[in-house]
């Protein structure tokens, strides 16, 4: 059964549809009804069949063009941004036309940013194909590219017209990419969604075997959580900060490793454990809750080995974090499982204690 969630506020509110099957021709035709030309942006790491199937869904009356990027974070660049813009201009795209992002967060972020700026904004539809892009990057309207000075430094808040999430894509995802998405799912459970926590706790092996019924529920709950947060705080002035749970320590771990050998997702999971340890030391959560957090992470096959890092090694990177404001570090901590908050009031000694 398809499930639907509305994200954002009028006039840029949009529908995220979760489908347990491939996208149907009739649904896709309806979404494309008002457009003339279509440019599908994708990357060469996806199984070839996905693009071929999407092409078959587009009504014959539309002109269809394809723009394929090389797979990988390197393509989230000014060069790709420019090449898509030049393609659109030479194909004489105008505001009656649209872009489709078929791929993971990399494709979604670049395509969304192009859509936000070409002719001061044309429509785009997202078809996220990784777990991370389905539960995270396709929801919330953030688009971006990287420049040599840093990741996601250039971008815009720009909502798609529609997001199609088909669980069928998840079958071909590598274990590493699947786990990276699971890290975000677990985060939603810890920061705001106790129901999701229960579902994950009772069904970890079904989740790991990618059982479609459970994944549909898990993805639905995840998107509901992200949608609730981003709809309340579209431009990141308030509650959206809780989405950064685990990120201060996660970023520090990534930086300490020179961004090699550990993925962003893996580092954030370790960061979430450290932030949970501090929540325990600050007397917000109980020892039992802390153990539950760790055991859920382990039961989902995610690494929890943060003790190979020590505070003094990570400290310079922690203090360099964006979350340091007026010299004071802001942390996202847990009041209980399913409830996070931002605070700068904690004992500094608990930062180092969390690593012992
Ligand atoms: N905009 C946001 O709010 C937001 C949020 C989180 C992350 N992001 C961004 O998302 C990006 C990461 O996205 P990602 O994790 O999806 O990685 P990705 O887009 O780089 O995709 C990872 C790999 O999986 C392949 N792939 C995609 N779908 C597949 C499928 N169904 N089967 C097999 N292979 C498939 C891709 O070709 C690629 O090689 C980062 O750039 C990050 O900054 C953005």
Task: Kindly report, residue by residue over 147-168, the tens digit of the pLDDT.
Answer: 998 889 999 999 999 999 999 9
- Ligand 1 atom closest to the Cα of residue 172 is 32
Reply yes or no on whether the pLDDT at 45 is more than 90: yes
Indicate which atom in ligand 1 lies nearest the CA of residue 45.
37
> What average pLDDT score do residues 311-315 get?
91
Mean pLDDT for the chain overall = 94
The string of pLDDT tens digits covering residues 163-185 is 999 999 999 999 999 999 999 99
- Residue 89 binned pLDDT confidence (cut-offs 50, 70, 90): very high
- Kindly state if the Cβ of 177 falls inside 6 Å of ligand 1: yes
Reported pTM: 0.95
Q: How is 66-85 classified by DSSP, letter by letter? A: EEEEPSSGGGSSHHHHHHHH
- Ligand 1 centroid from CA 250, angstroms: 18
3-state SS assignment for residue 224: helix
Atom of ligand 1 nearest to the CA of 109: 1
Residue 329 belongs to what H/E stretch?
strand 328-329
Regarding the beta carbon of 323 and ligand 1, being less than 6 Å apart is answered: no
Atom of ligand 1 nearest to the CA of 131: 16
Q: Angle, nearest 10°, between helix axes 194-202 and 175-191?
A: 140
Confidence of residue 318 (pLDDT cuts 50, 70, 90): confident
| 326 pLDDT above the threshold of 70 | no
In angstroms, rounded to a whole number, what is the distance separating the alpha carbons of residues 159 and 244? 20
What are the chain's domains? 3-172 (3.40.50.1970), 176-353 (1.20.1090.10)
Residue 234 has pLDDT above 90, yes or no: no
Mean pLDDT across 242-247? 94
Q: Is the pLDDT of residue 314 over 70?
A: yes
Q: Could you report the per-residue pLDDT of 208-226, keeping only the tens digit for each?
A: 999 999 999 999 999 999 9
Protein residue with least CA distance to atom 11, ligand 1: 105
From the CA of 177, how far away is ligand 1's center (Å)?
Answer: 8
Residue 350 Cα to ligand 1 midpoint, Å, equals 35
Q: Give strand pairing partners of 43.
A: 69
- Ligand 1 pocket, 229 CB below 6 A? no
| % of residues, the chain, pLDDT over 90 | 86
């Amino acid at each position: 059964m398809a499930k639907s969630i509305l994200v954002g506020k009028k006039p840029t509110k949009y529908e995220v549809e979760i489908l347990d099957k491939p996208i149907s021709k009739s649904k896709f035709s309806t979404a494309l009804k008002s457009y003339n030309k279509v440019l599908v942006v994708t990357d060469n790491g996806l199984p070839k069949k996905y693009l071929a199937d999407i092409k078959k869904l587009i009504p014959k009356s539309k002109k269809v063009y394809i723009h394929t990027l090389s797979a990988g974070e390197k393509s989230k660049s000014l060069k790709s941004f420019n090449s898509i813009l030049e393609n659109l201009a030479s194909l004489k795209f105008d505001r009656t036309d649209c872009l489709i992002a078929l791929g993971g967060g990399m494709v979604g972020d670049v395509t969304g940013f192009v859509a936000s700026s070409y002719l001061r904004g044309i429509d785009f539809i997202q078809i996220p194909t990784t777990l991370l892009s389905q539960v995270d990057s396709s929801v919330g309207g953030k688009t971006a590219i990287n420049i040599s000075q840093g990741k996601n430094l250039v971008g815009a808040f720009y909502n798609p017209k529609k997001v199609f999430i088909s669980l069928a894509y998840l079958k071909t995802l590598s274990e590493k990419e699947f786990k990276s998405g699971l890290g975000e799912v677990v985060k939603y459970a810890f920061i705001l969604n106790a129901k999701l926590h229960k579902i994950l706790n009772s069904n970890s092996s079904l989740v790991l075997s990618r059982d479609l019924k459970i994944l549909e529920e898990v993805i639905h709950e995840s998107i509901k959580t992200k949608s609730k947060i981003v709809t309340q705080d579209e431009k990141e002035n308030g509650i959206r900060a809780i989405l950064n749970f685990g990120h201060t320590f996660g970023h520090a771990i990534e930086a300490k490793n020179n961004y090699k050998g550990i993925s962003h997702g893996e580092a954030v999971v370790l960061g979430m454990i450290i932030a949970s340890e501090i929540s325990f030391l600050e007397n917000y959560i109980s020892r039992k809750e802390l153990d539950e957090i760790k055991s859920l992470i382990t039961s989902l096959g995610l690494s929890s080995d943060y003790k190979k890092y020590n505070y003094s090694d990570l400290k310079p990177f922690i203090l360099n974090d964006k979350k340091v404001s007026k010299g004071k570090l802001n942390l996202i901590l847990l009041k209980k499982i399913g409830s996070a908050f931002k605070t700068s009031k904690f004992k500094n000694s608990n930062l180092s204690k969390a690593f012992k």
